[in-house]
Structure 1
Amino acid sequence: MKHKLNDSDLVQAISFVWSQWRKQQLPLAIFIVLCLNLAIAPVVYAASDGILERRSAWAIGILGFVTIALVIYLFVVVFQPERF
């Protein structure tokens, strides 16, 4: 029996993720980065003209997201040190 995705199921899933955001930020952030990497990795792979392997394109995409996250974190630490 196939289960179709209803609008109410989608709203319920979004509300569950939204309610868990405050409790578990790190796993959700990792999931979002991996989902965004689904869009970035093919662009990196296509820009390399087949020189890179797909695995390397994924690694470069994740490395880019980690670098951006580190820059944002350090920016916040420098300009708001009382929070840390």
Structure 2
Amino acid sequence: MRKIKLFDTILAGNLAETLDFAGMLRGKNRVPVQLFLLMCLNLVIAPAVYGAAGREIERFTAWTISLLGLVTLGLSLYLFVVIFQPERF
């Protein structure tokens, strides 16, 4: 019986891709990559909002609410950092 080396085949490849992607974040194209990650995170949050609300709201409204929540969270984190670490700005 032959053992499948899961870490060597699948996880190692995904880890290398993840590290390459993290290296891309440090490059010149930070804003587009961050917007892409925000929209990917919205793919997770919007169905949860839609499911929690039931059929009372439309899908577009659920996407808008979740995107608004993510933007609000981002702005509050930014303001938190600006208030407590003003020397960085």
Settle same-fold status: TM greater than 0.5: yes
Gaps of 5+ in 2: 1-8
Name the count of aligned residue pairs: 79
Give 1:15 deviation, angstroms: 3.5
What's the TM-score, normalizing by structure 1? 0.79
Greater share of helix: 2
Take 2:48 and 2:15, find their aligned partners in 1: how far apart are those partners?
Answer: 31
Structure 1 stretches of 4+ moved >6 Å: none
**Equivalent residue letter for 1:21:** L
Which residue does 2:88 correspond to in 1? 83
Which residue does 1:3 correspond to in 2? none
Query: Higher RCO, 1 or 2 (CA under 8 Å, sep at least 6)?
Result: 1
Which residue does 1:65 correspond to in 2? 70
Give 1:44 deviation, angstroms: 0.7
Which residue does 1:19 correspond to in 2? 23
Please show how residues 22-61 of structure 1 align to structure 2 within 5 Å. Answer: 22-23=26-27, 24-61=29-66
SS of aligned partner of 1:62: helix
Determine which structure has more spread, i.e. the larger CA radius of gyration. Answer: 2
Give 1:10 deviation, angstroms: 4.1
More displaced 10-residue stretch of structure 1: 32-41 or 7-16 = 7-16
What's the TM-score, normalizing by structure 2? 0.75
Q: Give per-residue Cα distances to partners, 1:2-56, cap 9 Å, x unaligned.
A: xxxx847645533331221111222121111111111111111111121111011
Please show how residues 1-20 of structure 1 align to structure 2 within 5 Å. Answer: 7=10, 10-11=14-15, 13-20=17-24
CA RMSD of the aligned region, Å? 1.7
